Every structure is written in C-alpha cells, then in structure tokens.
Structure 1
Amino acid sequence: MNSLERRAVGLLASIYALRMAGLFLILPVFALYAQNLTGHTPLLIGIAIGAYGLTQAILQIPFGMLSDHLGRKPVIAAGLLIFAVGRVIAASADSIWMVIAGRAMQGAGAIAAAIMAMVSDLTREEQRTKAMAIVGMTIGASFVLSLILGPVLDGVIGVPGIFWLTGILAVLAIGVTLFLVPTPVRVERDRSRNLREEFARILRDAQLLRLDAGIFVLHLVMTAMFVVLPGVIVQHLGLAAPAHWELYLPVMLAGFAAMLPFLIYANRKRVTRRVLTGAVAVLILAQLVFFFGHTTHVGLIAGLWLFFASFSLLEAMLPSLVSRLAPGESKGAAIGVYSSTQFLGAFAGGALGGYLSGVYGASGVFVLAAAVLGAWLLLILGMHEPRFLVTREIRIQARTPAQAEKIAKRLAAVPGVAEAIVIAEEGIAYLKVDTHALDERALREVSAAV
C-alpha cells in the first residue's frame, strides 16, 4: 500500500472498530446490569441487546445507497452522530424500555456499508484484499478486546460510563471523517439509473447473492457458537469467565498467522474461489472437532484455532469480493445488502443458538453450524472466479473538486477504464482497468493532457 492508502484504511478501520465495539463491549456485562433497570424481563433484556443489530440490518441498504448518491463522508458523519445520540439515551436510561430506544438509535446509524465502500474507493484493486483484511480483522479484534475490556470498564465506569465513552469517541470520529480521511471523486461509466433499478440489479446478481448468503451464514455460526462456548470452556477447561481472554487472545493470534499465507496466495495467484472453498471446509471441520471433542482440552483448543483461522480469512475475503463484483455505480448499495445480511445472521444465530442450546445442548448448536456451512459450501461450488481488474495510478494537476470531477470524467471515458477515482488534494488518479480492453494510446493522450 502507498501512504495515502495506509492512512485512509487505518482511519476508516478505526471508525469501523468503534462501531463494532458499540455492539460487543456490553455483551459480557449488560445482562447483569439490566437486572437493576425498571421493567426488565429476560425477553426485554434480549431485545435490548438485539435491537442494535436489527436496526443496523434494516438501514444498511438505505445508507449504502445514499452514500452512492450523496457521497461517503456526509453519510458516515450523519451515522456517527445518530450513533452518539443513541449512546447518550442509553447512558441516561433508568428503564429497560429507554435502553431499548437508545440501542435501536445506535443501530440506526448504519454506516458499515458506507465505510467499506469508501475503503474500496480509496484503494487500488490489487491492494483491496489487503485493505479489506485490515478492516475485517477489526471485527475479530473488536470482539476479542471487548470480551477483555467490557468487564474491566464496567468495574471502573459502569455500563452507563461505557455508553458515554463510546458516544464521545463517535463525536471525535466525525471530525476524523470530515478532516483527516481523504476525499475521493468517483466517476464510473453508465451513471444513468434510478434507485429501484439499481437495487433490483444488485438482487438479481447471483454472484453477489452467494456472498450475501455467505456472510449471513458466517455470522449466524459465530453468534450461535458464542452462545454455548463460554459455558463449555468453564465446564470442561475449568477456566473462570473473567479469564477467558487468556484462551481467546493467543488462539485468535495464531489463527491470524495461519490465515495470512492463504490470503496472499488467493490474491497473487487469483484463485479466490479455491481458497474460499477451502476456508468454508475448514469451518465445517472446526464444527466437527467441537462436536466430537468439546469435552476435552485438545478438542476445544483445536476447534477454536480452526475456527478463528478460517473465520478471519473469510472476513477478509468476502467484503473484497463484494467490492470487486459490484457495479461501480452501485457499490454502496451492494455493500449495504451485504452488511444487512451480516447483522441479520448475527440476530438469527443468537436466537437459534439460544433455542438449540436449551433443547439439545452445545452439540445441537455445532450440528446447526455444520449444516448451514454445508449449504454455503454448495453455493460456493457454483461460483465463477471473479474477473481481475488492474489499477493504474497517474499524477494529475487537479487541486479543486471541480477540476477533479472534470478529469475523472475524461479518464472514465477511455475504452477499457471501468472506474476513475481522483484524489484532488493528493494530485493522484486511480483507474480500474481491464487490460484486455484498454485503449493504451487513448489513455496516454488523456494522461498527458491532465
């Protein structure tokens, strides 16, 4: 990655991590805290936890489509403001219903799709998998760190303090978004369309629908597993709940180390489908290891390592594939659908995991996970290998948005140029090109003129 890509990805990944922390930080402590809220019941406590994910799922698509039309930065800033207001409502709550309102408001700031689309805008095609890997790893890192930091912060500032802290950080993140993240000027071919046609086009794309189904299954499995794994670890490893981070952290780091060579191999050799298939197969293997060996030390540790390695690899690859396969002018909408199914998967995983663990125990959850992963594997076998576009970087003289827009239109008109992104403040244009169709002479003439 060049310096601009590193800066953009680092800042956007940090904002994304903040959003995920808003979901994960209270998970280890909220159920106990909610016992002191007026009007609480077990059902309402569950709704308070799930309201965030449900509103996220509902609003990801509208926010993603708005980011295609209004720009990424305004949508991200507005979403962060809504998130902060929701945190204040929850922090000030003395009843379970007020917390539910606050959690729903937090989820209504559904900016994950806009953030991921902006990462795609600000990175070259051949660097996109690496960029998405960084963002993807923030999900796993936020989850694991939340398991560690949630109880610690609760002991220091309480659950209301956690809400206040993340609300303040969201306000600071608005400033980062507006003033530190680079602003791309995006021009793609075939811009004439309406929102209904754009949405219908995304939902008719079989390749994108396979990826949407995949992220739904992946987060269903993750959430369902963590309904039962904490109890299994306490019962069979003898590890007290406050010490679970001592198991999760090293196993997760080992999983990251195991997945990186496969991520590099998929990108360099252009064998995305093969690596994707292998990762899902390893996830199924992890469920089988859990099913037969979750009562043993070796079975639990091996299952967790297999899970974290394949989960991390898939979290890195899937958003990159969505950004590569989505039409350039509908990227935000495509990622919005993707993000919605991700949160719906988490909601379904919690509900199904809770039900099955109560009826069949942990083994029932592992059987469910293996079954839905098997269905996903069959879908992947019907995928085509994604087309690989190459990014060209050229220097330009634009120093204002108006100049950048004009240059981007000229570059996008060159045959073989699928997308042109101009960063005015850096004097750089990124072109996504099909090398087999590119008119090199026309590109040289336009490049010389800008």
Structure 2
Amino acid sequence: MMRLFSREQIKIISLVSMTIGMRTLGLFMVLPIFSIYGSIFTNSYILIGLALGAYGITMAIFQTPLGILSDRYGRKKIMAVGIITFIAGNLISAYPVNIYGLIIGRLIEGAGAVSSAGIALVHENVSPTTRNISDAIIGISIGFSFMIGVIIGPLLSIVINYSGIFIIAAIIGGISFIPLIMIKESKKIKEFSANSGIDKKLMIVSFISFFIYFYMIVFYLYLPYFSLKYVPVSGFYKFLIPAVIIAGIIGLLIARPADKNKTVFFSLVSLVVLLISIPVYFMNPFIKNIYYYYLAVTLFYSGYIISETVFPTLITRLARRDSYGGNLGFYTSMQHAGVFFGAVIAGLLIININRDIPVMVLLIISIVFSIFMLYYVTKFREVYLDTH
C-alpha cells in the first residue's frame, strides 16, 4: 500500500503522523487517571468534567484560525506554535494551585491546535487519489497513541505521582519537534491566499464530526466504569489492543476503495457502525459478558477509525485547495467542541452513573441526525475528485 506514495510523500506522512501522534499520546496518557487527579483539588464532578473537557473547547476555538493562518504563513510554523502551547499547558496542569488552575492549564493545552495544519500539509503533498490512505495512516497513529496512552498512563501513576504524567506529556510534546523539523514543506503553500470562507456543505459535514466526537469522549469516560467489571486499569490493554488492531486493519482495507470514489459510501458506513455500537456498548451492564464487551469496543473503534479515514477527505473534496487549512480547521473545531460538551454532560451525569440509558438514547438520536445531514449534503452520491 505504501508503494502508492513516493519516498518524499512517505516521509511527510510518517513525520506528520509522528508529530500528531505524540501530541495525542500526551493527551490520552492522563485520561484514565484524570478523575482521580481532579478529585485532589475538588469534590465537584462538574468541575472535574469541565477540567477534563476544557482542552476541547480551546481546540474548537483555535483550530479554524490556526488552520487559516497555516494557509497564509505555512504549516510548520503554526504547528510549532501549537506544540509550544501544548507544552506550556501540560506544565501548568502538573502543578495547579487549585481546580481552576487545572482548568486553565487544560485550556492552554488545547489552544495548541495543530491537527488541521498537519492534515492539510499531507493533503497538499499527496495525490487526491491517495488522500484516504494517508488519512488512514494518520488515523491509525492516533488510534495507537490513544491505546498506548491509556495503557502506560495508569502504569506510570504507580511509579510516579499524577503530576509526573503531565510532565512526561510535556516532554513528549518537546520530542515532537524532532519530526516536525525534519519535514520539508512545499514552497507552493506560500503562493496560497488564505480563503477564510466556509461553505455551507462543509459546515454541515463538520457538525457531523461534532456528534462523532461527542460520542467518542462519552465512550472514553464510561470506559473505566464498564471495563473495571472485568479487569483492573492496568489490564485495559487486554481488550484495547485487539480492538484497535482490528479497527486499524479495517481502516486500511477500506482506504483504497474509498479513494476510488467511495468516500461518501464509507462515510455512511462509519456512521451506521457507530450507530450499531451505541446500544451494544451501553447494554453491557445488563449482559455482563466479556466477549460481548470486546465486540462493543471493537465496533466503536471500527466506526471511529473509518470516520477518521474518510471524513477529512470528504472535506478536501468539497473545499478549494487554497482553503484546506481553514476548512479542516473548522472541521476539527467541531470535533473538539463535541469533546468539550460531551465531557461536561458526562460530568453532570457521573453523579448518578445509572443514567446510561438516557445517554444512549441521546447518542443514538445524534448519530441518526448525522446520517440525515450526510444525505442532505451528498444525497448519498459520491463527491468526485476536485479540480481546484
């Protein structure tokens, strides 16, 4: 599959994947232990949920302007600024004075929004016929970063204190400068004029990503509650590794057909798989079978990774080439807005964790609505390669 790319394209995809993947690793290392860490500073579940999701709202705010700035000033410069901000936020989160200091640290951490600039950098350096495959590679690196993060985060908490995990995340952020420096940025980007307009169809596709990420953060927040019935936190890898590997293989298998003008079809498939996974996942407390739980987690990851593979390509097929950064920025802004609101709502509901059925119904309605929005934009007809 990598034979579809030139040596220089492979280098760019690999280096961007490493840069974004390291940042993702730093974000997700703290996920399994964040509620425990937050409880050191407050007894309020609402404030803990707000601290957890705070990075999502600043990512949502800054993705679009940073994406537009990357169209004008270059991807690498904006990604470097984002990494510096990420490091600063982690250092503040490591030693906050109180829960409000932790919230501020998380807000600063999220302000370093580099995903849209990174994806745009890859898309402008690969053929339009191989964008889905490049997105699949980036998506898999993000998936494995999450998997490694949720595994080593709890293990590290046994060896070092919780603050130390944020320090390590900051160090990983610093290391991510290495692959970024090695990227040779195309000179063509400097010829672009920043086109800040966001098309109506692109907005609607971006709102679909809001609901996907709303589901994602709720999935992760419920993960400890559901998983601890079977294994301790240190044993999460027993079902996370197989689930991510299976989903990653599926993502790679669909990438090539998706590039051959099946982007809309697999966008629909991702939403349908996510929709199926919701009741399977949330009915787990009533079934209490570990293999059933394996199935639920695998279904979620499969739908999620397929969506990560095809929706960015759908955006760049609908957008002008000189506005990739801005449009992908708005897309990722909606993703992280979904993270914020999902975390806050979960913070409200965690007071009574038995409210999983209303959450399940809310998620089902949101994904069904997403399917209708996809139909409104595409009529379930393929969006062919752009000629901009």
Q: What's the TM-score once normalised by structure 1's chain length?
A: 0.77
More divergent stretch after superposition (251-260 vs 331-340): 251-260
Is contact 1:83–1:105 with CA below 8 Å preserved after alignment?
Answer: yes
Q: Are 2:119 and 1:116 equivalent residues in the alignment?
A: yes
Structure with the higher fraction of residues in helix conformation: 2
Larger deviation, residues 60-69 vs 354-363: 354-363
* d(CA) in 2 for partners of 1:318, 1:167: 30
Residue identity opposite 1:321 in structure 2: L
2:362 corresponds in structure 1 to 368
Residue of structure 2 in register with 1:343 after alignment: 336
1:145 pairs with 2:148: yes
Q: 1:44 Cα shift?
A: 3.1
Q: Distance in 1 between matches of 2:190 and 2:159?
A: 50
What is the aligned counterpart of 1:387 among 373, 384, 388? 384
1:174 aligns with 2:146: no
Show the counterpart of 1:246: 238
The percentage of counterpart residues that share the same residue type is 27
Is 1:287 the counterpart of 2:278 in the alignment? Answer: yes
Contact kept in structure 2, 1:290 and 1:303, CA below 8 Å: yes
Q: 1:8 aligns with which of 9, 12, 15?
A: 12
Give the alignment's Cα RMSD to 1 decimal. Answer: 2.4
Does residue 31 of structure 2 align to residue 27 of structure 1? yes
Residue in 2 that maps onto 1:62:
65
Q: Report if the CA contact (8 A) 1:284-1:370 is conserved.
A: yes
Contact 2:129 2:259 in 1 (8 A): yes
Q: For residues 78 and 17 of structure 2, what CA distance do their matches in structure 1 show?
A: 16
Residue in 2 that maps onto 1:90: 93
Question: Gaps spanning 5+ residues in structure 1: where?
Answer: 390-415, 419-450
C-alpha distance after superposition, 1:3-40 (max 9, x if no partner): 11111111111111122223211111122233444x67
Alignment check: 8 A CA contact 2:211 2:370 kept: yes
Partner of 2:217: 223
Q: Is the contact made by 2:155 and 2:234 (CA closer than 8 Å) also made in structure 1?
A: no
The equivalent residue for 2:258 is 266
1:310-352 per-position Cα deviation (integer Å, ceiling 9, x unaligned):
2111111111222232211111110110111000111122233
Per the TM alignment, residue 41 of structure 1 is displaced from its structure 2 partner at its CA by: 4.1
TM-score scaled to structure 2, two decimals?
A: 0.89
- Residue aligning to 1:205: 200
Over 3 Å counting, the alpha-carbon distance change for 1:239 and 1:168 in structure 2 is closer
SS in 1 for 2:240: helix
Matching residue of 2:208: 214
Report the alpha carbon displacement of residue 271 of structure 1 after superposing the two structures with TM.
Answer: 1.9
Asked whether the equivalents of residues 24 and 142 of structure 2 are also in contact (C-alpha less than 8 Å), the reply is yes
Within the candidate set 227, 234, 248, 1:233 is matched to 227
In structure 2, the CA distance between the partners of 1:247 and 1:353, relative to structure 1 (3 Å rule), is same
User: C-alpha distance in 2, partners of 1:231/1:57?
Assistant: 27
Q: Look up the equivalent residue of 1:320 and give its one-letter code.
A: T
Match of 1:65, as an amino acid? I
1:105 is displaced (CA, Å) by 1.5
Tell me if the contact between 2:203 and 2:330 (Cα under 8 Å) persists in the aligned partners: no
Over alpha carbons, which structure has the higher Rg?
A: 1
Instruction: Check the 8 A contact 2:87/2:170 in 1, yes or no.
Output: yes
Residue 102 of structure 1 corresponds to 105
Shift of residue 149, structure 1, vs aligned partner: 0.8
Change (3 A) 1:241 1:176: closer
SS for the counterpart of 2:32 is coil
2:29 and 2:169 in contact (8 A); partners too: no
Task: Summarize the Cα distance change of 1:263–1:94 in structure 2 as closer, same or farther, 3 Å threshold.
Answer: same
In structure 1, give the amino acid aligned to 2:277. A
TM alignment of 1:285-364, pairs within 5 A: 285-292=276-283, 294-296=285-287, 297=289, 298-355=291-348, 358=352, 361-364=355-358
Change in CA separation of 1:106 and 1:354 when aligned onto 2, cut-off 3 Å: closer
Corresponding residue for 1:397?
Answer: none
Inter-partner Cα distance in structure 2 for 1:355 and 1:41: 10
Q: Does 1:53 align with 2:53?
A: no
Report the CA distance shift for 1:101/1:156 in structure 2 as closer, same or farther (over 3 A).
Answer: same
In the TM superposition, residue 214 of structure 1 has moved relative to its aligned partner by: 1.8
Separation (CA, whole Å) in 2 of partners of 1:83 and 1:64 = 16
What is aligned with 2:186?
184
Q: Contact 2:60 / 2:332 at 8 angstroms: preserved in 1?
A: yes
Q: Return the alpha-carbon distance in structure 1 between the equivalents of residues 258 and 337 of structure 2.
A: 28
Distance 1:359 1:31, change over 3 A: closer
- Aligned-pair CA distance for 1:228: 2.6
Q: 1:9 to 1:354 in 2, by over 3 A?
A: same
Aligned 8 A contact 1:225 1:366 in 2: no
Q: Counterparts of 1:128-167 in structure 2 under 5 Å?
A: 128-167=131-170
Give distance in 1, aligned partners of 2:57 and 2:340: 7
Q: Which amino acid aligns with 1:227?
A: L
Is the Cα contact below 8 Å between 1:356 and 1:364 reproduced in 2? no
Question: Aligned residue for 1:403?
Answer: none
For residue 217 of structure 1, give the secondary structure of its aligned residue in structure 2. Answer: helix
| CA displacement at 1:294 relative to structure 2 | 4.9
The count of aligned residue pairs is: 378
1:291 Cα deviation after fit: 4.8
